[in-house]
Each structure stands twice: as C-alpha cells, then as structure tokens.
Structure 1
C-alpha cells in the first residue's frame, strides 16, 4: 500500500479544501516534476471520488503538501517553522 499524502488548498477568499490521496510515484524526481508541472499550469486538476476538479490557480493563495515530498523544488528554503 502506498503512503498517504495530504493536500491543503488555501483559497484567497479564506476557504480551505483538504484532500487525502496515495503517493503518486515512488520516484522523487518524478514527484518533483509533477509538482512543477502543476505549479506552471493555470489550473490544478485533481481526481476526487471519480470526479475531476479543475481549480483556477488564481483563486489559490497557497498549497500545503503533507508530508513534504522527499525531493523539493530547487529554490525551496529548508528547515523553516511556522510562527504566530
């Protein structure tokens, strides 16, 4: 069984969408490429319970992936902590 990942979409209007899904690939480089492709697209496409969600990137404030992938985009700052 593949590890479970969580994706939290935080929208500009304050709403949040939480999703759970199996890890999409065991290859860290392929995961990094997939994240890069999604970030470069004007929409994020996600299959949920047999339906396709197409979410315009313009409506998203930020994304949170948990746990983080093993391979991060090149410009990622590592070791940060959220403070309030």
Structure 2
C-alpha cells in the first residue's frame, strides 16, 4: 500500500513560454493517480503541486529534474508535505 504525499516543486530556468506546464500535466496524467497543478510564477519559475502516491510524486520529481523536459531546467527546489486534497485532476493554471 502506497502512502499519499504532497510534493511542491519550484522549477527554475527557461521554463516559461516553452510548453512546460502542458508537458508537466501530460507527465502527471501518464504517471496516473496524481492531482494538482502547474503554475507560472511572476519571477520566471514554474510551481508544481502534486498529490498522490509517493512513487508517483517521486516519478514526477525525477522527470522535472531530468533532461526530458521542455525548455531548460537549471534547478528544482522541493518540499514534501501531507496531502491537503481539493484538486480535481491535474490542472494548468
């Protein structure tokens, strides 16, 4: 049985205007079982919030940190927390 977790990640680099949020949503749906959102921030970063099974959130984080993302990721800062719920699927904000 997998424990549900909440991942909040801030992705910095050239990650706006390159389809980053769309691809993040597609990856979350491909992994399955995740809900949350991807949001462009005013400072040029993208915030990703994902809730679901720990393995799924770890998979999404590994993808965010990998070389398969659009644009250019220079770094990812993440925090782990308890799920809060209230998300309907995975959205682009």
TM-score class, shorter: 0.3 to 0.5
Structure with greater Cα Rg: 1
TM-score, length basis structure 1: 0.36
TM-score by length of 2: 0.34
Structure possessing the higher relative contact order (Cα contacts under 8 Å, 6 or more residues apart):
2
Question: Of Structure 1 and Structure 2, which has the larger fraction of its residues in helix?
Answer: 2
